[in-house]
Amino acid sequence: MSNLDQIGQILAKVAEDRAQIERALAPSRAMVDLVRAIQPPAFLLDIEGLAKAIQSPTQFAAIADIAKMMEPPAHLTAVSQMMTAMQREHRLIDEFARTPRILEDVMKQMAQMRALSESITAPYRTFQEMMRSQASIFEGLSARVAGLDAIKFSIPQFSQAMLAWDVASIGLANRMNDVGLLARREMLSARLFEVPSAYAEFVRHTTDLLAADPVPNIAARLRGSLNLAENQLLEITDVVSAFVAIPEDDEEPDAIRILDAPFTQQYELLSCEFVEDENDTAALTIASPTAQTVELAHRVLGLVTQCNEAAKTSALGAEIFKPTTRLMTVFVDLPWFSVTDRFRFGDFVDCLYFIFYEGAGTDKLRFLDKHGGPLTNADCDLIWCIKHLRNKWSRHDPDHGKEIQKSWAELAAKFIWLGLAEHPTDTRHFQQLHRKLLELAEDFLKNILNKLTLKP
């Protein structure tokens, strides 16, 4: 590979990383300031200037143009300057953990992030202490990572994981501050931070596993699970931020649900036959059934927000799914919530019930045509299924009440409709129900979007 090709690859990776951060931070002026504060090292700017000077291989001979762009010392040629920049990049990647200057840079980055976080959350002590507690996890891990073999887990990789948490948590805090949620519902605001909290614990857990000196193949899968969780963290906090508002109700937020999908994904990646690229999150998702369900849940939540936006411009003229206290906690929990048994299936059905029944108007469901919505009763089999599962199985016993035999027969019909051939008893059954209900939810929301028309 030529030197120019190597530089092109380096620049592409840098541009990709910066673009991802900027996309996550774009909705917030404060976050844009953060991106500006975290500028790439000077040598990367040198490389970027070099790339602009070299437009095609045929121009590579224009050493004078390269030298002018790089402005090297008189005793250095453009080629030697280029090699110096490449060597710096190589050290950054392969020897970061052994370079005290770089570790100091990471600590400065932590300090910058903490200062920005505290400028947003200063009036809210409970919330601020929670964010400090999560940030301290990364601060405690930094010195430990510096002592690890860089091949297993380097400081640049750890810094990327830490930056994802910073971007997600500060962006979410800034959004809640902008809409006034921090000032009016501090406990709810803290509850909405369960995803960054779960991610911080997952990073600590994975660092522990990497510190145990696994073989290279296992280490690559562990790093891959971090990359996957990092990508999901940014996507989840983005969809939560888009939905956050001050709820009309004054209910206390639901109890914390266990968000363990990152750990399950990791186990699946460790168990699969082959992982080709630890940085290819699309391929990692294909290798992990749980990651596919996480992606599906994320799409469902995104569609809820889209339906609300479309409803406002339709004859309905208002949101279909109101941002209640319960519904906002569902936006946080649903993607990383795993369903493995009847108890956790009950929690999952609750989440769907809070979205599609309580969140949509309970006895006056706003998506129904008789209440101004676009759907008929015949379009709502999913809603009646969710209601039946909750009322007749997950939260109540079918043997209670009248017509017991009929209740069991209807429950069997619902399980068959969801694709089961036998009564759900093991993890495989509940995972199948979990995925099928999310698929039906996605189809249901797409149907709403397709039938909503603009108000003339």
Does residue 72 carry a pLDDT above 70?
A: no
Structure confidence at residue 12 (pLDDT): 57
The 8 Å CB, 24+ separation contacts for 439-444 are: 439/296, 440/382, 440/385, 441/300, 441/352, 441/355, 441/356, 441/382, 442/296, 442/299, 442/300, 442/303, 443/382, 444/356, 444/379, 444/380, 444/382, 444/383
Tens digit of pLDDT for each residue in 117-174? Answer: 667 666 677 777 888 888 888 888 887 888 887 778 888 888 889 889 989 998 999 9
pTM, full prediction: 0.75
Structure confidence at residue 1 (pLDDT): 54
Cα atoms in the Cβ-side hemisphere of radius 13 Å centred on 368:
16
Count CB neighbours of 446 within 10 A.
14
Q: Is 147 exposed, middle or buried (0-12, 13-18, 19+ CB in 10 A)?
A: exposed
Q: Which of 109-118, 305-314, 350-359, 389-398 has the lowest mean pLDDT?
A: 109-118
| Angle subtended by helix axes 155-179 and 29-37, to nearest 10 | 160
Q: Which amino acid is at 302?
A: G
Structure confidence at residue 80 (pLDDT): 44
Task: Enumerate the β-bridge partners of residue 368.
Answer: 375
CA distances in angstroms from 279 to 191, 220, 222, 331, listed in the order given: 31, 9, 11, 27
Number of residues written out for the chain: 456
Structure confidence at residue 147 (pLDDT): 80
User: How many angstroms separate the CA atoms of 363 and 357, rounded?
Assistant: 8
Structure confidence at residue 306 (pLDDT): 97
Tens digit of pLDDT for each residue in 87-108? Answer: 444 444 343 333 334 556 666 7
- Mean pLDDT (whole number) for 432-438: 98
Q: Which of 324, 328, 317 is nearest to 453 (CA)?
A: 317
| Residue 288 Ramachandran class (φ > 0 left, ψ -120 to 50 alpha, else beta) | beta
- Mean pLDDT (whole number) for 43-63: 43
Percent of the chain predicted with pLDDT > 70 = 72
Structure confidence at residue 273 (pLDDT): 83
What is the domain partition of the chain in residue ranges?
A: 1-94, 339-451
Contact 261, 337 (CB under 8 A): yes
Q: Which of 440, 435, 422, 424 is nearest to 381 (CA)?
A: 440
Does residue 380 carry a pLDDT above 50?
A: yes
347-375: b (≥16 Cβ within 10 Å) or e: bbbbbbbbbbbbbbbeeebbbbeeebbbb
Can you say how many angstroms the Cα of residue 351 is from the centroid of all Cα atoms in its chain?
18
Structure confidence at residue 60 (pLDDT): 41
The 8 Å CB, 24+ separation contacts for 47-52 are: 47/7, 47/10, 47/11, 47/85, 47/89, 48/11, 48/14, 50/7, 50/82, 50/85, 51/7, 51/8, 51/11
Greatest mean pLDDT among 42-56, 121-135, 152-166, 278-292 lies in 278-292
